Amino acid sequence: MEVRIQIADEVYRRMLVSENRVKGSIGLVSPTEGNFNAWKVWTPESSESKTIRLRHGKAYVDSRRTRLMLSIDHTEEVRPYDVIDQESQQASDFVYDVFDE
Res 89: pLDDT: 96
- Overall number of domains in the chain: 2
Burial of 96 (0-12, 13-18, 19+ CB in 10 A): exposed
pLDDT of residue 40: 79
Domain assignment present for 78 = yes
The answer to whether the beta carbons of residues 2 and 32 sit under 8 Å apart is yes
Q: Does 44 reside within a domain?
A: no
**What's the rounded Cα separation, in Å, for the pair 60 and 94?**
9
pTM: 0.54
Q: Which domain holds residue 17?
A: 4-38
Q: Is residue 88 part of a domain?
A: yes
Q: Are residues 27 and 58 in the same domain?
A: no
pLDDT digits (tens, 9 = 90+) for 70-101: 999 999 999 999 999 999 999 999 999 998 87
